[in-house]
Chains A and B, each alone.
Chain A
Amino acid sequence: MLTMSSISKKFQGVRALDNVTMAAKEGRVLGLVGINGAGKSTLMNILGGVFKQDNGKIILNNKELTFNSPIDAYNEGIAFIHQEPQFFLTLTVAENIFISDLYMSKFPIVTDKKKMMQEASKYLAVLSADIKPQQLLEDIAIGQRQVIEIVRALTSGANVIIFDEPTSSLSLNEKDNLFRTIRKLKKEEKIIIYISHFLDEIIDICDDYLVLRDGKMVQSGLIKDTDKSDLSRMIIGQEIDRLERASINTDNKETILKVENVYHSNLLHGVDLELKKSEVLGIWGLMGSGRTELVRAILGLDRVPGGKCYMNENGQMKEIKKAELLRSVGYVTEGRHFDGLFLSMPVWKNVTSANMNAYKSKKLKFMDNKKERSKTEKFIELLNIKVPDANVRLANLSGGNQQKVIFAKWIDKGADIFILDEPTRGVDVGAKLGIHKIIRNLASQGIGVLLITSEIDEMVDLADRVLILCNGEIVSELSGNDINNANLMHFALEGVKE
């Protein structure tokens, strides 16, 4: 019996978990559900020893546990199948599986590679994965890598196994195998916690459920006492603080960007799309449907074998190189700390960084810092960025304000196409509303916005038109009043079905 009682956790003032209690029993699968940002991952990261809770206790088999690192959790038999697994790309599959517990041969200090290969292929066969243990990990497709982490947990003999969105990168066949494995683990009296967006999967594999919303417990109980529509009601909940939906008809608007036939290894299979002036075009699809890859392919950030881009130049659609497109759009990336910001620089340098030519003097090309600062002050007021002054280093800003600085940067550049990948990830509710207003404003000024988000509400509130991306193909298009929670949820749930 595993109990996490009254767990609370705050991140930089944002309450990620508020008094959450969870109980999981041997031989049963607990389904943990909720939208992105509901606190599922935070809760599991606490159980996995990645974060430490501010309040609350973890009790496993009547023993209170404190974890200071993931290794502590691992040693207590808690294995975490991460959503974004970390691997050693230059080692073999077998070495990756057994890295924390390498088989040693009789000869001292020498590892027993043969035995590792054998054991690894045994476990891989259980999952019917088409992977050879002697392959280097960098040669394994990203979609298959998760299997390796599952095998790693199985071989470590863990008693508590947490699956964090395990099927998002698995094929249908691999998924069946995974479920068979989970059922086997159930028979062996393991405690299994299963996190997923897909309610079908939850109903299929889980025995109990716990619904989280905005870091709070909504309800828990037995799966057999509930059904899909009940669950989705609990997950979505009552709406708070939302922008009035103001979808416009964009049929007659001018096209500003056209993309044809984009391929990306096995992730995208010929995607076409057209972005019109002053519309917000949403791309709705699950994690692993190829959303981010689509954008990266369009912008030429990943080398892809196929795909053409056209841009509107004075009313004419002209083919352009993808790298050129990157130069003329505002691209708000998925991970702002990773590739969106200069964290150690002050706000004003970040704001003007995409448009530095506008601030240099005519002859000697010196930067006009005064001008940069005053422009930044304007943006701070315009976008309601909450900072004491423009000199604050960006690392000291909250997530929402950092995100607004990114918007300011691209607006300053004068981009007429905005590509937004998860624009409000890790942003608190108030700032989220502010960012939504900014996006609406941009569109009303004639800017075309391409929006990718996994938050259903955000999509409904902002998008004028939604393309449904599934397994690397556009399968449907929604517009007007068809864009609603029920429809999008439907596509999400049907998501991986072929």
Chain B
Amino acid sequence: MAEKSNVLQNTAPYSGEIKNLILSNGFYILCIAVIIIFTCLNSAFFTLTNLYNILISASFMIATTAGVAVVIIAGNMDLSVGSTALLSAGVMYSVSTLGLPDIVALIAGLLAGIIIGLINGLLVSKLKFNAMVLTLGLQLGYRGIGLILIGGTQVSLPESFKNFGKIRIFGGLNLVVVICLIIMALLYIIMRRTRFGTYCYAIGCNETAAKRVGIPIDAVKTATFVISGFCAAVAGFVVVSRLGLAHSYIGKGMEFSAIEAAVIGGISLRGGKGNLLPGALFGVLLIYIINNGLSIIGASEYVYPFAQGIIVFAAMYLDALKNFKNK
């Protein structure tokens, strides 16, 4: 037997721990490379102020991606998060016009997100809708309701929303950014440390096996959509609080950015694999680092999608290489 295994090792030409290391951390190496390149091009890039800028612009996507990542890990897909963000912003606006305390408007907005998640989740788990098709269809309706509630291209919310967005802690970091990061961290802990999280990974990995061992599949799936809806509502609030305005463009394309960020952060679209931290977080950050860097070096706005595309492709290629080798 010993002889045999020697033969085997000789016939397999794969060696080199370094290659392995590079492949398995390829995404982070890519992130660092991008940061170094932008820093070399313009020293203003690598400063604390600019880091805060990146975080502020990325904040709502951090919350959204966290929620979408949970759904993806459990083996589903949520394409309605952008519309949910718009709808919850709409609810916040219309409740605030009723003369109730502003906190009620906020809670109503978040509740709207949860209800949408519940609808999506129940339809997917109980009526066995295909999650992608269902949320792609329903998001039109959600967006429609949001647009009706806003009733114009742009409406103002009470001052307190804008003031909340201005609260800064830790020497200049916005409170909303911290909230988004906390949501991401909390969901990471839930996914990796609780029974619910383990069930999510198990269902995403192998639903047949999950059924066999008696995991409450329907309840877990529904819960993931509720989480995603809530996170999208938070994202809606973050956008609104930054400007003090609700406008009809909130959430446009957000769902695809979130999936993109999750995937380049190493979360498998097949489910059951990947981490919220650091994976998904850096996935979001990479996209905003590229945008921010390009604007700092004064690149034309039309270059942004192209540069983004290249980087996203590179990240996915590295991931594919890794998987290919593992096979």
Contacts and interface: CB of A to CB of B under 8 A. Distances in A.
A88 B12 contact: no
Contact of A100 (B201, B204, B214, B273): B214
A91 B201 contact: yes
A89 B213 contact: no
B198 A91 contact: yes
Contact of A86 (B11, B198, B206, B214): B206
Interface stretch (A103-111, A179-187, A278-286, A475-483): A103-111
A70 B211 CA distance: 9
A102 B195 contact: yes
A110 B196 CA distance: 9
A99 B8 contact: no
Given A100-B214, A102-B195, A109-B196, A90 B8 contact: no
A110 B194 contact: yes
A253 interface: no
B205 A100 contact: no
A110 B202 contact: no
Contact of A87 (B193, B198, B209): B209
B215 to A, nearest CB: 7
A263 interface: yes
A132 interface: no
Contacts of A115: none
Interface residues of A, number: 27
| A interface: dominant SS | loop
B194 A100 contact: no
Contacts of A305: 8, 11-12
A90 B198 contact: no
Contacts of A111: 193-195, 198
B11 A109 contact: no
B195 A109 contact: yes
B215 A99 contact: yes
A266 B7 CA distance: 11
Nearest to A80: B212
B209 A86 contact: yes
A412 B5 CA distance: 43
A88 B209 contact: yes
Nearest to A473: B4
A74 B213 CA distance: 8
Contacts of A71: 212-214
Nearest to A72: B214
B273 A90 contact: yes
A360 interface: no
List of 9 A-B pairs having minimum Cβ-Cβ separation, nearest first:
A86-B209, A305-B11, A100-B213, A71-B214, A88-B205, A90-B272, A90-B273, A90-B205, A306-B11
12 contacts: A88-B201, A88-B205, A88-B206, A89-B205, A90-B204, A90-B272, A91-B202, A91-B272, A99-B202, A100-B213, A266-B8, A305-B8
Given A71-B213, A90-B204, 18 more contacts: A74-B213, A86-B209, A87-B209, A88-B201, A88-B202, A88-B205, A88-B206, A88-B210, A89-B206, A90-B272, A95-B202, A109-B194, A111-B195, A263-B8, A263-B11, A270-B7, A303-B327, A306-B11
